[in-house]
Structure 1
Amino acid sequence: MKPIHYLTIVGTLTAIARFGSFQREVGRQLESRYRISPTHTVATRTALPPSLNSDTARVDTAATEIRWKGTKFGKRGAHAGTLRVRSGWIDVRGMQPRSGRILLDMRSIAVTDIPRSDMVPRRKLLEHLVGEEFFAVSRFPTAEFTIDRAVDLGANVFRVNGRLTLRGVTKPVTFDMTLWSYEPTALRATAQLTFNRMDWGVAFRGSRLTNDLVDDDVQLEIDITARGSAS
């Protein structure tokens, strides 16, 4: 078999099993609808254990959206999908996020860029995502974000330092969160996080070529709605 034929076959098989692309802005110009006071305390706060009071709001799992994006062949190809939140809470005091925990339901991984009419490639991509080579959902049915501390950058934007637990591996992550609205009964925030999948062991086993065809970075776009007290 000629090399060009081999690479074509490898590329075709890999293409249906990869993350992909979507083009959306994380804030989606929400500021005109969800505006809060620009007054914040410019300080770094260390996360505290969940304080089950009026400042700790439960994540509304039905209203919260998580969209994933991954690319391949040096961003020349892509796939996209969604992920649901299983549970979570966020503690905001003095108009500043202090701590939080969001549990992701890895069993809810869905593919959105391949039409439902293309049943075979859609099914094969999903099988790869939930399988042992990627997220090993049968062994690790949940993933977790924690917010450890946040620094006020101004304009309702906070630099969040936290941790991501995926496939049983926990590593620090840093991302920006925009707090669009906050009051005792409702919270709205958006964030965009990019992480290197290889750091969490999300990779084909024993195949350098296959892993090289898929870009390392995975992007998560998060739109959080939290309501009421967690008490």
Structure 2
Amino acid sequence: MKNLKSLAIALFLAAGVSVNAQTKKIDVKASTINWVGKKVTGQHSGTVNFKDGAVVLKGTKLVGGTFTVDMTSLTATDLTGEYQGKLNGHLKADDFFGTDKFPTSTLVIKKIGSKAKNVYAVTADLTIKGITKPVNFDLAVNGNTATTTFKVDRTKYDIKYNSASIFSAIGDKAIDDEFELAVALKF
């Protein structure tokens, strides 16, 4: 009887938590991901699109989220024509993101801490090319929007092409190991 009573209390408390949490799907058309990749001789920038995603809120407080990115939508926006096509093809090839084998990447929020009013310190699992590694970033939530900027070390996801940390004699052909993502969510 005591175990039954404990189970009933646990179920009641769990139900109360789930009732208070609200999952809000992101608007994939209005949400954006902009990227910047730097190299010794300059940089390239572009976009990649969300496939789907959602944030989980308890009242106005962020408590979770899961996002899927359509890696096949990866495109450079700083180039046009033939040069854009060449760069896009190279970024989608196996020595970068291998989008034929890995058409999506995911980010799953694992831990959230409050940093300031409406700003959260987030730890998430980022999966690129089937490899999952933790990433940390600050996420600002304001109404039905959230924004963040953070860097990703591509070498942790087996993207080693022209990495100076791996190929020390690469010289001016080196590409930075980290690329930057600027994310704006609408939900």
TM tier, smaller: 0.7 to 0.9
Structure 1 stretches of 5 or more lacking a match? 1-50, 182-186, 227-231
Runs of 4+ in 1 over 6 A off after TM superposition: none
Matched, 1:77 2:38: no
Cα distance in 2 between the residues matched to 1:52 and 1:135 = 39
Say which of 149, 153, 178 aligns to 1:217: 178
Residue equivalent to 1:154: 116
Q: Give the superposed CA RMSD.
A: 2.1
Cα distance in 1 between the residues matched to 2:142 and 2:98 = 35
Residue equivalent to 1:184: none
Cα distance in 2 between the residues matched to 1:158 and 1:142 = 26
The Cα offsets for residues 52-97 of structure 1, whole Å up to 9 and x where unpaired, read as 9871100110110100111001xx5100000100011110114221
* 2:73 counterpart SS class: strand
Residue equivalent to 1:108: 73
- The residue type equivalent to 2:130 in the other structure is G
Higher normalized strand content (fraction of residues): 2
Q: 1:205 offset after TM fit, Å?
A: 8.2
Residue equivalent to 1:132: 94
Cα distance in 2 between the residues matched to 1:112 and 1:63 = 17
Is contact 2:162-2:174 (8 Å) kept? no
Cα distance in 2 between the residues matched to 1:166 and 1:210 = 25
Cα distance in 2 between the residues matched to 1:107 and 1:224 = 20
Is contact 1:90-1:101 (8 Å) kept? yes
The Cα offsets for residues 110-148 of structure 1, whole Å up to 9 and x where unpaired, read as 11011x2xx222111111100010000000000001111
Q: 1:213 offset after TM fit, Å?
A: 0.7
Instruction: Output the TM-score relative to the length of structure 1.
Output: 0.67
Residue equivalent to 1:203: 160
Residue equivalent to 1:190: 147
* 2:85 counterpart SS class: helix
Structure 2 stretches of 5 or more lacking a match? 1-17
* 1:90 counterpart SS class: strand
Residue equivalent to 2:7: none
Change (3 A) 1:52 1:90: farther
Is contact 1:61-1:85 (8 Å) kept? yes
Residue equivalent to 1:15: none
Residue equivalent to 1:180: 142
Identical pairs, percent: 30
Cα distance in 1 between the residues matched to 2:142 and 2:93 = 36
Is contact 1:143-1:165 (8 Å) kept? yes
- The residue type equivalent to 2:85 in the other structure is R
* 1:55 counterpart SS class: strand
Change (3 A) 1:172 1:72: same
